[in-house]
Amino acid sequence: MPQKTVKIAFRGLMVLNYQGSAPNRFMEIGFLDARAGSAQGNPPMGGMPDYSTIHIPRVLTMENGVLADLLDLRNRPDLLGVVRRWELRAVNPVGSEATLKGTGPADRKQEPTDSNREDFKWIVDLEGPDMHNKNLTADISTARLLMVLIVRNGEFSTKLISPFLNRETLGGGTDPFGFAAAVTGLDITCTVSNPNDEGAVDLLAGSTLVKRLQPKKGRDTVFEISNAPPDVPAEAANPIGAAGHFHMYYDKLFINHPPDVQFDFEAIGSAPAPDPALCGVTFLSQRTDGL
């Protein structure tokens, strides 16, 4: 039977947790609850103003590179913040599990190549050796997550690489970090009955269908599932070099405020926030418990 691929991108404040064992591995994606912005009393590092800290869970449909549709999940108050377990459920998926593309970069400080720039492991790993370098289960509270999205099929990859980042340590200095995933991608391949059909993936909140992600024939479509702020705040322009929102992982997820060790990122010559490089999806590589 013919096969078609549904392309999905994840951007904003999310934490990924890879669970299960082959051939039934799956991904949990926890969304930070930043609908009310940054936590009081824990400003971003460096004392910079905290611009546009409200993050809006939404689904954007990009067709032929242009925004064609937007679903603001705040319009579903019966579901958002009420139903915790959400799911991306593919219609007739190929394969029985979610997989990760590539083996990952050996060194973040090396320029990405054509052969590895889509590897999943460019993602910022909160538990990795270049971050906290430990299992953070005792340090974070997943009960604070707004929702947890389950993905049981498809291949996760890096959709967009950041510029070279510097890492700032709370109470310490700044050191080179390297390149990271600014946007994480997911391709889910489905079988279809004939070549004119397109694959479909249902976004569910519990048992409720929220939206069917299905491209229109002849249109190059990407469905962006976002937990990011609006592009620009209405009250004033974001200045060049405005602080990013990576600190909100510590505001919203970590139990101690501030934690004993806290990191932030800055991109050399970056655009005004919100910059996806500074507000990107993260990963928990050592965690064994579900979210």
Q: How many helices (H) and strands (E) does the chain have?
A: 1, 18
Predicted confidence at residue 242, as pLDDT, reads 66
Asked whether residue 160 is assigned to any structural domain, the reply reads: yes
| Helical H segments across the chain, by residue range | 248-252
Asked if residue 244 lies in contact with residue 276, where contact means CB atoms within 8 angstroms, the answer is no
The whole-model pTM stands at 0.92
Q: Which domain holds residue 101?
A: 3-283
Asked whether residue 65 is assigned to any structural domain, the reply reads: yes
| DSSP string covering 68-101 | EEEEEGGG-TTTTTT--EEEEEESSBSSSSEEE-
Residues 6+ apart with CB under 8 A from 158: 101, 117, 118, 119, 120, 122, 123, 181, 183, 184, 185
Asked whether residue 75 is assigned to any structural domain, the reply reads: yes
Predicted confidence at residue 237, as pLDDT, reads 74
Asked whether residue 236 is assigned to any structural domain, the reply reads: yes
Predicted confidence at residue 103, as pLDDT, reads 85
Asked whether residue 230 is assigned to any structural domain, the reply reads: yes
pLDDT tens track, the chain, 291 positions: 899 999 999 999 999 999 999 999 999 999 999 998 765 444 444 444 444 678 999 999 999 999 999 999 999 999 999 999 999 999 999 999 999 999 877 799 999 999 999 999 999 999 999 999 999 999 999 999 999 999 999 999 999 999 899 999 988 899 999 999 999 999 999 999 999 999 999 999 999 999 999 999 999 999 999 999 887 777 777 666 666 788 899 999 999 877 889 999 887 665 555 566 667 899 999 999 999
21 CB-contact burial (10 Å; exposed 0-12 / middle 13-18 / buried 19+): exposed
Asked whether residue 288 is assigned to any structural domain, the reply reads: no
- How many domains, the chain? 1
Nearest to 240 by CA among 214, 263, 218, 267: 267
Asked whether residue 158 is assigned to any structural domain, the reply reads: yes
Instruction: State how far the Cα of 275 lies from the Cα of 228, in Å rounded to an integer.
Output: 9
Q: What 8-state DSSP symbol labels residue 50?
A: -
Predicted confidence at residue 276, as pLDDT, reads 65
Predicted confidence at residue 275, as pLDDT, reads 67
